[in-house]
Amino acid sequence: MNRTLFALFALLLVPLAAGPAAAVGFGTPTLDGTVDAVYGAAEATDQTGDGNGNAVMDLVNLYVCNDNTFWYFLFTVNGNVQTTNWGKYLLYIDTTNDASGATSDSWGRNVVVSDTHKPEFSLNSWMDNAPYGPEDSQVWVWNQGTTSWSQSGSLDGAARSAAAVSGVEWKVARSRIGDPSTIWVEVYSTGGGSTDNAQDTSNDPAEDWNAVDWSSQATLLNSTQVARSSGGDTTPPTVVSAAIGDNDPGTVLVTFSEPVDPVTSQNAGSYTVTGATVSTAALQTDSSKVLLTLNQDLGLGACLTLRATNVKDRNNNTIVDNGTTNVYVFFLTELFIRAHMNIYLRTSSAAPAPDTVGIEGSLAPITWNPTCDDLLADPDGDSVYEGFFTFQHTCTGGVTDTTTLEYKFTHQCVTWESAANHVYSLNGSAARDTLEIWWDNLAPVDFTAVDIDVVFFVAHWGAPWSAADDSIGLNGSQPPLNWDVPPTNLLEDDGVLPDSTAGDGIFSARLTFPAGSLKNFNFKYLWRELPDTLWNYECFGQGNRNVFLNDTLFSTTNPIVMDLAYWDYCDFLAGTETGSAPVPERLELLHNAPNPFNPNTAISFTLPERSLVDLSIYDVSGRLVRALVRGEMAAGSYEGDRAIRWDGTDESGKAVRSGVYFYRLKANDKEVTRKMALVR
């Protein structure tokens, strides 16, 4: 994007210039992710088109200002952070102008800072949740004595804007970083991988870091110098947000742009809210927040307006009653959650102790941290745990948004569901909604009602197996199968049913899967060849084999008879060394194909030497989704039929949701990461 076009999206863009800068802005900006005039010129600028080719990784400008209480930081991004809803950003702050400070990154990212300006503070935030706010952030403090980071709450305010060049705006109390007269800063973008590097920075141009991959260590200089400004505060407070307090629709927590006067802010007559009367107003410990108690619960399913008038800040500036900066409009939806725990508790109940079931999630009032703060009740004693939760939507021009809740259930505040996060879209136009779900998404329909026999056959594609020298086992995810090694379920080639002919190299077994078995399960064969004492799994780097127990068609008298399987042909050939194929010159992770995909994609790569390989899938938060390959592989090119396939499922075999995922290849001491998009 050229500078002329960028001027349409940023308030002010200055030419590239090296050397220290001074904060030219004193005052209180509106925290909305857009560049207010109070910021003045950008403290650091960066060209567009870098950031390793990822739009929301491409940083542009960094703006800084302060008032008498807070520092404000706003950085612009070449991309729409709100609609992309992905990406992580960190801002380092050096307050001492020396080499003392952090020697590592607070999130463990592959980033180091030069000795001149090592940071004492790190402001961290992620874009994965909506609506975006300070709850999506962390403040980290470096302890020089213990040489370690510790988290110190979240930002005092956070907002983002939606535009082709969007903005992310943060505020943090001056007192929280020691209120120095000068600070040195740098903001960088990164992904969800726990060892990702910095992709792009906004810093003095000559010292700008631009990543060419996701693995090379990033070196930051953290040298953008900003001097604290002083002056008389003439900026009136504004309403930043209004939200019901602690899942209670009879209260509203109002957040102002700055600390407010305790007299005018605690006057109940200073506030109106649609459909209710304000009974009391109480200033909170954070003096920019006021908790309102109402005479009745707020209504559901309609846009509600909170209006503040006559409220002053600590410098006697009165909020402007303009119907814009003194109001906040929102919409409430009540979600009735019913967690069916019946099947899970049959084998996992804490009885005689009471069973405790909680829900953790990504959208207030349901949060990931702390654990077990949102418990469900079992009023009927039927192992169906229930709870009512009120969620808030934005309401702009009478139009509400639809927000996404990711969540999981916990048992006894310790055991989490093993499947991937559940995802639920909250309808922004409904007053009430009901969510019914089973633990791990496993309902009675997913389990068999009768015993079912399954007959398995397997042979070797090359030289036939011999019953005298070869032992064949069968492992899987449903009893009577298990994943024990050595295997407890063996196949025979002895001519005794279900084996038809002794010594023909075809091994067989008939197993009974009892009623209550999970209908869809995975399995693999194992082989031990004398004189070897070790058992080896087939299909290294491939998917598992699968059986569906259809209890309407099959039983113990009418068994499922599997087709003859061939050892090591589960899906495709995963790779052996060949004398004719040229050995690749370098490790290379190629683009997956197709991309975007649904639900299968092939991941190709080359190995220049026999290597210990780890090929795994991660989500944008850095959580492991699926390990595709973990073990030794021969040198060669793993492309075409030899590529590794991913079917869009996690470790438990559950389908994952649409979104951006990362696939990372580790081979010996080298590592390469790429991203892909699953679109269902």
What's the rounded Cα separation, in Å, for the pair 508 and 522?
17
23 plus 94 within the same structural domain = yes
Q: The CATH number of the domain where 87 resides is what?
A: 2.60.40
Tell me, yes or no, whether 130 lies in a domain.
yes
List CB contacts of 425: < 8 A, sequence separation 6 or more. 402, 403, 404, 405
263: left (phi over 0), alpha (psi -120 to 50) or beta: alpha
Q: Give the chain's domain count.
A: 5
Q: What pLDDT was estimated at residue 60? A: 92
Shared domain check, 208 and 145 = yes
- Asked if 39 and 25 touch (Cβ cutoff 8 Å), the reply is yes
In Å, how far are 151, 624, 634 from 395, measured between CA atoms? Answer: 33, 36, 57
233 part of a folded domain: no
Asked whether residue 401 falls in the same domain as residue 468, the answer is no
How far, rounded to the nearest angstrom, does the alpha carbon of residue 468 sit from its chain's CA centroid? 52
Does 243 map to a domain? yes
Residues 70 and 150 in one domain: yes
| Claim to verify: residue 529 and residue 599 sit in the same structural domain | no
CATH number at residue 341: 2.60.40.10
Place of tokens 């950008």: 42
Q: Are residues 84 and 199 in the same domain?
A: yes
**55, part of any domain:** yes
Residue 359: C-alpha distances to residues 384, 409, 428 (Å):
13, 4, 21
**114 lies in the same domain as 57:** yes
Tokens of 340: 């069916």
Which domain-ending residue is among 412, 444, 476?
Answer: 444
Has residue 579 been placed in a domain? no
* R_g of the chain computed on alpha carbons: 30
Residues 103, 37 share a domain: yes
Q: What is the domain-level CATH number for residue 592?
A: 2.60.40.4070
Q: Please report whether residue 576 resides in a domain.
A: no
Question: In terms of domains, do 108 and 190 share one?
Answer: yes
Of the residues 325, 349, 366, which one is the last residue of a structural domain?
A: 325
207 and 105 within one domain: yes
CATH code for the domain of 302: 2.60.40.1220
Nearest in space to 214 (alpha carbons), one of 676, 675, 677, 678 = 675
DSSP string, 86-107: --EEEEEEESSSSS-S-SS-TT
Phi-psi region of 472 (alpha: psi -120 to 50; beta: other; left: phi over 0): beta
Alpha carbons within 13 angstroms on the beta-carbon side of residue 181 total 1
Residue at a domain's end among 227, 257, 275: 227
Q: Does 215 share its domain with 268?
A: no
Task: List average pLDDT for each run of 10 residues in the chain, which is 680 residues long.
Answer: 34 36 73 92 85 77 92 94 86 93 92 90 88 89 93 93 94 94 93 84 72 86 89 88 90 94 97 97 94 96 95 94 96 93 88 93 88 93 94 82 87 90 83 90 87 95 88 93 92 94 95 91 92 85 83 92 86 38 79 83 88 87 85 80 82 82 89 84
Long-range contacts of 377-383 (CB under 8 A, 24+ apart): 382/342, 383/340, 383/341, 383/342, 383/345, 383/355
Domain coverage including residue 486: 447-566
Assigned domain for 578 exists: no
In a domain, 80, yes or no: yes
Cβ-based neighbour number of residue 594 at 10 Å = 11
Query: Is 362 found in the same domain as 349?
Result: yes
309 class by beta-carbon count within 10 Å (0-12 exposed, 13-18 middle, 19+ buried): middle
